Amino acid sequence: MQEASQDWMKRVHDFGHGHLLRFWSELSSEDQKSLASQVQSIDFQELATLFSGTEKSVDWSELSRRAQPPIAIRLQENSPAFSKAEALECGENAIRQGKVGMILVAGGQGTRLGFDQPKGMFRIGPVSNRSLFAMHADSLRGAMRKYEASIPFYVMTSPATDLATREYFRDHHHLGLKPEELIVFCQGTMPAVDAATGKILMESKSQLALSPDGHGGIVASLDKQGILKSASERGIEHFFYAQVDNPLVRACDPLLIGYHLLAKSQMTTQVVKKRFGKEKVGNVVSIDGRTHIIEYSDLPDDAAARTDQDGELSLWAGNIAVHVLDLGFLAEASRGEGGLPFHRAIKQVPHLREDGVLEKPAAPNAIKYERFVFDLLPLAERTMVVEGDARDVFAPVKNAEGAPTDTPTATRQALSMQHKRWLEQAGVAVNPSVKVEINPHWALDAEEVRMKIQKPSHILVDTYFA
């Protein structure tokens, strides 16, 4: 035991991270155990390679020049391959047959929003003041109601959000879901390193500065935590994937699932038409027959501005992080060597100085490493891209009030406008000054609103918020 512990300590020193043990002798045996387990779980070789920048890197300028628009189902065009009605029926059948699960990624730290709880707990309902978690759970319950099916809800947390998220669900009656329909699982972490030296930063004398390993961490954690296995055992074949910060997403959108199935796609992505070339969204493109996402920051100006013969942006498809993923494809990807690549982000990370005092940097000082779920796309042999109307599918809460875009106010407005449109399409005149919110558990779209209005006895009241 003693020898084993000396082995890992030697390894820490050999890789130049001896400072992690600087306060070892001051720690209680419990804290020593905790620090030892954090340190032992680090792949120092991988971290050294990442910091040196010698890992396989991508030449985005070169790839951007070769990038073509993806083959996609466009909003205003009829697909030559399959009709919308066919896709809808196919998606609805898969949900009815219990083959679909919903994944919600909610492990991010939400630093831009500046909310000190998990972002899912942020209240966003324009009238109800419901939380982001509640909006997603209600949308999912709406799908369960409509298709008379049970759809498991897989919520990915991180050590930063896990406990508060579990308590929130427990204290709010699982937001109306049956306990067996709610599966919360925690993603992994990566250490933050000093941007100048590559040394791992410490948050306290016994705690490394660890942060969630990105939404792409889902691939490894689904596998490690046995979720793929248990989902497969309950008959799940496909996952509908969404992010907690976008309450406009329709949980388990049957149309998207249907296109995915008809195309025999392994990973399907919903996109919106970009408003301008350098819009701050990932660009979904096709390169040598594979689908990739090129981040707006990696897309050279000339590639962003390129237009087709109709004068439309050539690289038009913006990623909104709504996907359908095959369970078999995820299982295969989780067995892939090395996992998804890491991306680096320079961030401000508070850390312990040599004298044991916590320093809160005024400027970015650290590198965080994150995996992105969209790096799965090029691994898939068969993908599908489907355009959605941004007004109906995308209004993420990213920034605090006062920012130019993606603020809570903008999201509330987008929700209210969508629900007003549903009412108007159902023949209801709505005063423009009135705030509107429709609970998706009551009606999922304009068509359902129309049917419910004709039969008002169907109006449903939720009580778990009281």
Closest C-alpha to 415, from 429, 443, 445, 436? 436
Using CB atoms within 10 A of its CB, is residue 351 exposed (0-12), middle (13-18) or buried (19+)?
Answer: buried
Residue pair 293/374 in contact by the 8 Å Cβ criterion = yes
| Residue 110 in contact with ligand UTP, rule: CB under 6 A | yes
Under 8 Å CB-to-CB from 102, ≥6 apart: which residues?
140, 151, 152, 153, 154, 239, 240, 241, 242, 251, 252
Site string for ligand UTP, 140-169 (x = CB under 6 A): ----------------x-x-----------
Tell me, residue by residue from 312 to 351, as one string, x for binding to ligand UTP by CB under 6 A and - for no binding.
Answer: ----------------------------------------
Q: Within positions 113 to 132, which residues make up the interface with ligand UTP, using CB under 6 A?
A: 119
Residue 243 Cα distances to 104, 111, 270, 404, angstroms: 5, 15, 13, 21
| Token pair 């040196």: residue | 52
The distance in angstroms from the start CA to the end CA of the chain is: 55
Residue 243 interacting with ligand UTP (CB under 6 A): yes
Of 262 and 267, the one with the shorter C-beta distance to ligand UTP is: 267
Number of residues that bind ligand UTP (CB under 6 A): 22
What secondary structure letter does DSSP report for 164?
H
**Does the footprint of ligand UTP cover residue 112 (CB under 6 A)?**
yes
| Of 212 and 440, CB closest to ligand UTP | 212
Q: Per CB under 6 A, does 245 bind ligand UTP?
A: yes
Which residue lies nearer to ligand UTP by CB, 187 or 269? 187
Tell me the residue nearest to ligand UTP as measured from the CB: 108
Q: Does 107 bind ligand UTP (CB under 6 A)?
A: yes
265 neighbors 384 (Cβ within 8 angstroms): yes
Considering only 90, 106, 377, 436, the residue that binds ligand UTP (CB under 6 A) is 106
Interaction pattern, residues 206-225, with ligand UTP; x per rule: CB under 6 A:
------xxxx-x--------
- Pick from 41, 30, 34: nearest CA to 8: 41
Q: How far is the CB of 28 from ligand UTP (least distance, A)?
A: 30
Judged by beta carbon, residue 12 or residue 104, the one nearer ligand UTP is 104
Outline where DSSP puts E strands in 248-352: 267-273, 283-287, 290-294, 317-326, 342-347, 351-352
Kindly state the tokens that stand for 177: 């879901």
Q: Which residues bind ligand UTP (CB under 6 A)?
A: 105-112, 119, 156, 158, 187, 212-215, 217, 243-245, 370, 398
